Chains A and B, each alone.
Chain A
């Protein structure tokens, strides 16, 4: 679904991120309008004239302090707490409920300067075996099926960014990070690197291909399985692997 200002959203949860933006825009927009409105009003009404003198006050009376404090408290409750509450709810939906490893497709991604090495477990469902499928820059996923991605990095920090799914996660050498998503619209979309990783950062582009279950299976069968297991791959998937 296309939202004004955003790229097309193809995920089941991306709308939560977009909604959070609109809520924040409304709340901060009102605050901004009030500030600029008051500023403009004061600038028009209180210009220096020979016949008028400013109202002499230091603004340190009990009334002034209560008013300022009260308004600041209002900002805290209406904007801060409100936004934090909605952010928490959105976080639960986007990040807080990973699918079980059984129902999900598991993918390992190990970027290097300046490409995405992508690895599937292959038919046996176990990583670091001879039937693993590896690709470069081509991430195929079946439509409407949860996908869990584990990330690490071969050299420097990269950041795995799926703009059409509103998520990103850094790929950090020496660490394993993860994210999950579910795509609901088929097509080819961009994978971008969001962390500066060297002079080729701008062209570290990959492709996310969302396709039907049948097309995905056909594609997977057609991939070469010739690569030997690489010691840097195959991280602990917990009980799932």
Chain B
């Protein structure tokens, strides 16, 4: 059954319905935005390290009117766009768009996603959303400046922020939300419906479980934030007052806190939306590179399910100082800290996988171990934020910023790199340089920890987030030199990424050709050539075992079984 493939350039490489092409489109879009968001982060750190000084090298280009310096009006645009671009246009396209689209059909033994056209539309909605976000920089008044949380009434009143940049931002996010929603429906359907014979739910790679729960959370919660954004837009342009109250809107009886409930109702699950694919990937890669089955597979999947449920009922821990009833806060605190139970099971299973294993320290393995390390810090510092009394002090300080960068930036970034280094040979048919990759890991590891741990330290001292100039405050004078330190470390982190970009581009054209299975991985995708043929599988594969059959005793050649290896039949019987 040979499908007819479109041959024209536009249908094959641009408006493609093919999952592997779409995955690469997502990957390139995401990596491009990763660079844009990263440069914004460096500009933010420059402003904090050397307030109101002209930005070296690129300042004259970006902030011409102010003589190369960042203005008070430009600074909120920087942190707003940095946050939104990183979360919605860099990490989401890479970890859901690219990882999901590339791996799901290959790992379930399908030729494409369940809804290929929806898949194409999903990517182009992201493209339109990106265009809207980027266009917002060039309209009068500049890009959005209300912070990535878009809190009303700052966002909901044109008296506060009149520019059309704010509206383009909301439109961009809404388009992206539609894109992610369509992707989520596709992932769920493909994983549930298109699995090859023998591929039971207990034999799915953990990456797919991560993507699955992530998609479930997206389809549940994204519509809520999308509606909230639409209500903000109505408040801005159509004269409604969903979120307007007080002297600013004496005629209106809106509810300011309602917006926060709606936003964080999505905003907290978003953390898990981004981290689940990484957790799944970590589970799989630890197993591949320690040559040992994933420890406690079922408990790991059940823990993910537990967190999926819990994540929907903990959002109030973002609102301890909002004026919400403290008794409600207590309930949210307790629910939040119970998340540590499934998380502890995750960590124990990861350690269990490494216990008495045979570890190969490849580049993807280094990044995987990096995730375990930085997520331990990110997860444990979450407990501090969950404690109501302590959170009241550190809420909206750099302690929070450091914490969520450990979970969302550090863990997710390392997960992204683990994904790219691991899947690059399969996607592009070439190997990335291992030596450059290791250098990239160690430099990133050192600088990243320097940046985010010191952020938490200055936050402990009370350093507020989103302020453009800490030297305006007497109590922050003792920590200003740490802002300079973070600036240098951030620059180091940024420059280390050049190694990655060089490695990526060089290997794309000059890397050594990769065999079908360079990592000796057991999952289905590694049974096809690198890169896989357009139709993935010549015949529907038959699956005999789980994806983690490493170190299997009693095999006469090799120590592992591919999921399609018929020898696994005997294994299951014995």
A interface vs B, CB < 8 Å? Answer: 5-8, 16-17, 20-21, 24, 28, 31-32, 35-36, 38-39, 42-43, 46-49, 52-60, 64-65, 67-69, 71-73, 75-76, 79-80, 83-84, 87-88, 90-91, 94-95, 113, 152-157, 159, 161, 163-164, 166-170, 172-175, 177, 189-190, 192-203, 205, 232
Given the known A-B contacts A155-B247, A174-B245, A174-B254, are A59 and B354 also in contact in the complex, defined by CB atoms under 8 Å? no
* Chain A residues closer than 8 Å to B354, beta-carbon distance: 38-39, 42-43, 46
- In the complex, B296 has a CB within 8 A of chain A: yes
Contact of B349 among A6, A8, A68, A80 (CB under 8 A): A68
Q: A20-B387, A54-B358, A59-B293 are in contact. List 4 more A-B contacts (CB 8 A).
A: A48-B291, A68-B349, A168-B392, A189-B474
* Chain A residues closer than 8 Å to B376, beta-carbon distance: 32, 35-36
Determine the main DSSP class of A at the interface with B.
mixed
Contact indicator A21/B296 (Cβ below 8 Å)? no
Contact indicator B387/A154 (Cβ below 8 Å)? no
* Chain A residues closer than 8 Å to B299, beta-carbon distance: 59-60, 65, 68-69
Docked Cα-Cα span, A53 to B553, in Å, equals 9
- In the complex, B146 has a CB within 8 A of chain A: yes
- In the complex, B153 has a CB within 8 A of chain A: yes
* Chain A residues closer than 8 Å to B369, beta-carbon distance: 39, 43
Contact indicator B290/A57 (Cβ below 8 Å)? no
Contact indicator B341/A72 (Cβ below 8 Å)? yes
Of A31, A94, A173, the most chain B CB neighbours within 10 A belong to A173
Number of residue pairs A-B, CB distance < 8 angstroms: 302
Contact of A169 among B72, B76, B323 (CB under 8 A): B323
* Chain A residues closer than 8 Å to B380, beta-carbon distance: 28, 31-32
Given the known A-B contacts A42-B359, A155-B248, A177-B323, are A54 and B153 also in contact in the complex, defined by CB atoms under 8 Å? no
B116 CB to nearest chain A CB (Å): 35
Q: Chain B: how many interface residues by the 8 Å CB criterion? A: 100
* Chain B residues closer than 8 Å to A67, beta-carbon distance: 348
* Chain B residues closer than 8 Å to A200, beta-carbon distance: 72
Docked Cα-Cα span, A59 to B298, in Å, equals 9
* Chain B residues closer than 8 Å to A196, beta-carbon distance: 76, 146-147, 151, 154, 465-466
Interface residues of B in 538-556 (CB under 8 A from A): 548, 550-553
- In the complex, B460 has a CB within 8 A of chain A: yes
Contact of A7 among B462, B465, B472 (CB under 8 A): B462
Contact indicator B393/A167 (Cβ below 8 Å)? yes
Docked Cα-Cα span, A56 to B545, in Å, equals 15
Given the known A-B contacts A80-B340, A91-B326, A202-B472, are A68 and B551 also in contact in the complex, defined by CB atoms under 8 Å? no
Which residue on chain B has the smallest CB distance to residue A81?
A: B337
Contact code string B532-574 (vs A, CB < 8 Å = 1, else 0): 0000000000000000101111000001000000000000000
Contact of A155 among B160, B323, B551 (CB under 8 A): B160
Contact of A75 among B153, B296, B340, B475 (CB under 8 A): B340
A selection of 28 A-B contacts at a CB cut-off of 8 Å is A17-B393, A31-B380, A35-B347, A35-B372, A36-B376, A38-B354, A39-B354, A46-B354, A56-B293, A57-B295, A58-B294, A58-B296, A68-B345, A71-B344, A71-B348, A94-B389, A154-B248, A155-B159, A156-B248, A161-B462, A168-B395, A168-B396, A173-B244, A174-B256, A175-B323, A189-B474, A197-B154, A198-B154
Smallest CB-CB A-B distances: 3 pairs:
A173-B246, A174-B245, A59-B295
Docked Cα-Cα span, A119 to B381, in Å, equals 38
B560 CB to nearest chain A CB (Å): 10
Contact of B356 among A54, A60, A193 (CB under 8 A): A54
Of B245, B464, B548, the most chain A CB neighbours within 10 A belong to B464
* Chain B residues closer than 8 Å to A113, beta-carbon distance: 160
Contact indicator B338/A47 (Cβ below 8 Å)? no
Which residue on chain B has the smallest CB distance to residue A5?
A: B460
Contact indicator B383/A24 (Cβ below 8 Å)? yes
Docked Cα-Cα span, A143 to B314, in Å, equals 39
Docked Cα-Cα span, A161 to B293, in Å, equals 51
* Chain B residues closer than 8 Å to A59, beta-carbon distance: 293-297, 299, 349, 352-353
Which residue on chain A has the smallest CB distance to residue B156?
A: A156
A158 CB to nearest chain B CB (Å): 10
Contact indicator A35/B351 (Cβ below 8 Å)? yes
Of B248, B321, B354, B389, the most chain A CB neighbours within 10 A belong to B389
